[in-house]
Amino acid sequence: MRIKEIHVFQKDLRIEGPPYTMARTELHSLDSTLIKLVADNGLSGWGETCPIGPVYQPHHALGARAALAELAPSLIGEQVSLNTLHQVMDDSLNAHGYAKSAIDVAAHDLLGKHYGVPVSELLGGARVESVPSYYAIGIGTPEEVSRTALDKVAEGYKRIQLKLGGRPIAEDIAVVRKTWEVIGPANRLVVDPNRSLTASDTITLSHQCAEVPMTIEQPCNTMEELLNLRGRLCHPVAVDESSEGLNQFLRAIETGVCQGFGLKISRMGGLKPFSLVRDLCALRAMPHSCEDSWGGDIVSAACVHMGATVQPKLLEGVWLAQPYINEHYDPENGITIENGSIAVPDRPGLGVVPDESALGSPEASY
Ligand code: 0XW
Ligand code: MG
């Protein structure tokens, strides 16, 4: 089976309700890129990449489509083999894993359809029929955030992430304490300042919330700042944004800078490299999430298929953008969260097929 055509679509994902807020960013809509690989046997596979705005990481929507314009011509005519496609991509363009990820996911979708198996089967096999999600609550007052946390726990989420940062640390501490007072001890809490805190403020946050059993995710901007926190906190640390690719992930493992990860499929370059990261986390008993920056049903399906193959005791949840955008590319089999969990599709490939009529014409075709 060889790649015959590649079509690139642009899709705005409007955020329903209030903006999605993090320390450095307030989002009202996200710019997603979907790709369709058409094989010479008539089958099609879908991929997607959707940076969460231009500042969360060194990724942005226009960059993804520019990278795909660089990659696509070299992929036409190639075998749909994951080793071949990743080699051709790496020989055509350095880095840009977040764009390569869309091709990788589409190839998994194609291969699953070709062999009649769900993508989770290609990734080693699903261990479960459903995976737990978690809910991320944006920057807010102690009353607002704790009320939302209570609502989400009532919906069935067992793990809540609080966005912090971009304000005096005392305000963050008040939010953490109030939220834990409301949802603890039966639930789990992660605080995520998205790189915005100083090491000093992180130490203050941890010591003044010592009684709260939480994980602190990516408090500071760089790996060097995180290394400066070793032995100084009362809480485990998870690395998210700093695991920019496999080498930074390995550096985090080898330096002992963290006790877990927030891991995104596109940041690792796709499902194939993410499988390696999953297995290395298992080797070192490192809990991790299985998610992506943002995206619709295609990104969601990729995250759920991968999440189903993670050892359940190590899976910190599959986060989806779905609750914040409330639309589906696939009107019949869109990926949804029910009672805090997500059913793993058992249909061939990703198990979702976008309604192309809702996507408009491709931005580019190769
Ligand atoms: C909560 N997320 C998974 C969603 C946004 O992409 C940010 C990310 C995080 O943990 O930073
Ligand atoms: Mg994070």
* pLDDT tens for each residue of 171-217: 999 999 999 999 999 999 999 999 999 999 999 999 999 999 999 99
| Amino acid, single-letter form, for residue 313 | K
In ligand 1, which atom is closest to the CA atom of 241?
11
Query: Does 319 contact ligand 1 (Cβ within 6 A)?
Result: yes
Query: Does 261 contact ligand 1 (Cβ within 6 A)?
Result: no
Across the range 79-107, mean pLDDT stands at 98
In ligand 1, which atom is closest to the CA atom of 289?
3
**Which ligand ends up closest to the CA of 22?**
1
Taking a 5 Å cut-off on Cβ, the residues next to ion ligand 2 are 192, 217, 240, 262
In ligand 1, which atom is closest to the CA atom of 22?
7
> Residue 241 Cα, ligand 2 centroid: separation in angstroms?
7
> Residue 293 Cα, ligand 1 centroid: separation in angstroms?
6
In ligand 1, which atom is closest to the CA atom of 52?
6
pLDDT higher than threshold 90 for residue 280: yes
Are the C-beta atoms of 49 and 267 separated by less than 8 Å? no
pLDDT tier at 227 (50, 70, 90 boundaries)?
A: very high
pLDDT higher than threshold 90 for residue 288: yes
pLDDT at 332: 97
Query: Does 134 contact ligand 1 (Cβ within 6 A)?
Result: no
CB under 8 Å, gap of 24 or more: what pairs does 167-173 form? 167/139, 169/197, 169/201, 169/204, 169/205, 172/205, 173/204, 173/205, 173/208, 173/209
**Which ligand ends up closest to the CA of 15?**
1
Are the C-beta atoms of 305 and 109 separated by less than 8 Å? no
Tell me the CA end-to-end span of the chain in Å, nearest whole number: 17
Q: Which of 100, 113, 264, 272 is catalytic?
A: 264
pLDDT at 326: 81
Instruction: Indicate the burial class of 363 (C-beta count within 10 angstroms; 0-12, 13-18, 19 or more).
Output: middle
pLDDT at 4: 98
In ligand 1, which atom is closest to the CA atom of 264?
3
Chain mean pLDDT for the chain: 97
Give nearest CA residue, ligand 1 atom 2: 293
> Residue 194 Cα, ligand 2 centroid: separation in angstroms?
6
Query: Does 322 contact ligand 1 (Cβ within 6 A)?
Result: no
Residue pLDDT, tens place only, 23-34: 978 999 999 999
Residue pLDDT, tens place only, 10-62: 999 999 999 999 997 899 999 999 999 999 999 999 999 999 999 999 999 99
Look up 163 and say whether it is catalytic. yes
pLDDT at 226: 98
Distance CA 216, CA 213 (A): 10
**Which ligand ends up closest to the CA of 133?**
1
> Residue 56 Cα, ligand 1 centroid: separation in angstroms?
9
Question: How open is the CA angle 245-218-253, to the nearest 5 degrees?
Answer: 50
Across the range 134-147, mean pLDDT stands at 98
Look up 264 and say whether it is catalytic. yes
> Residue 75 Cα, ligand 2 centroid: separation in angstroms?
32
pLDDT at 24: 78
Query: Does 121 contact ligand 1 (Cβ within 6 A)?
Result: no
Are the C-beta atoms of 192 and 217 separated by less than 8 Å? yes
Distance CA 279, CA 12 (A): 34
Q: Which of 11, 163, 178, 272 is catalytic?
A: 163
| Proportion of the chain above pLDDT 70, given as a percent | 100
Judge if pTM exceeds 0.85.
yes
